[in-house]
Structure formats: structure tokens, C-alpha cells
Amino acid sequence: MTPAFTGQEKALSREECDEHLREQGTGVLSLASDGEAYSVPISFGYADDVVYFVFLGYAADSEKARFAEATDRACLVSYDVSGKFGWESIVVRGPLREVDDDEWDELVDAIEDNAWYPSLFSEADPQSQLRGFALSTEDVSGLADQRES
């Protein structure tokens, strides 16, 4: 079903969506397994059309881990609300995969550049299990309110 817009929204260009993803650094990641959905708030880094994030220190039977492993394509929603008429939202869809060992430098750089919690790596317990993921931005769209606040 196509949403009914009020005419007060404007579609964002890919460049505007990229800028939001570089600057915002937080969102809600949706995963799926066997017809069941699971969403989790994340802090992320964004570089070269890839959203990078980590899962830190979860249990072996974690729902988050189970859903991440089962998800081929994920969806990320990132948004910012500054007032009644000041909002924008970005939706990213694409393949999700665990990062390879040789990609950790890119992941760390992206997260340190724009994640909400950029000091994660310096403060994390070295014994904690870190798993890094990459979400390729195959499909990106965005909307913003075009009214003045």
C-alpha cells in the first residue's frame, strides 16, 4: 500500500540521504527469520555506501545473533526529529553480512567518524565478543518535512 502524503513532505536525494547517514549515526535495524521480524536500535558508521555496526557481548542463544545470521537482506530506518515540522527519515535496504577480518579497519574508521558511541572500541572489555556487520545500501530513500518549524 502506498502511503498517503500530505503534500508537506519532500523526497530526499541520494546525496541528502548519504549526508543524513554520515551525520546521524543511529537507527533501528530490522532483521527477519522464518517469517518473523526482529528490530533492534543500533549506532552505526557509514562509509562508501556501507552501513557498519557491531553487536557487543551477547549470549550464545541471543535472538539478535540468531536473526542476524538468518537475515539475507535487512532494513535500517534512521530518523531525526527536531520539532513538529522538522523531521526527516531514511530507509536503507540491502544485503547484510558479517565483516571479514580484513575489513575491521574500515568498520572501526566508519564507526569512529559518525556513530553515536564512537569510543566503543576503547572502552569495550577486551573479553567481550564483538561481531561486526556490513549493510550494503542497495536501496536508499528518504523523506523530510518541507514546512518551516
Q: For 70-104, what is each residue's pLDDT tens digit?
A: 999 999 999 999 888 889 999 999 999 999 999 99
Q: Residue holding cell 517469517?
A: 35
The CA angle 114-103-33, to the nearest 5 degrees, is 85
> Whole-model pTM?
0.85
* 121 pLDDT higher than 60: no
Q: For 122-138, what is each residue's pLDDT tens digit?
A: 555 544 578 899 999 99
Residue ranges of the domains in the chain?
Answer: 10-144
Distance from C-alpha of 97 to C-alpha of 134, rounded to nearest angstrom: 6
- Tell me the pLDDT of the chain averaged across its residues: 87
Question: Looking at residue 21, what is its pLDDT?
Answer: 97
Range 10-144: architecture per CATH: Roll (2.30)
3-state secondary structure at position 51? strand
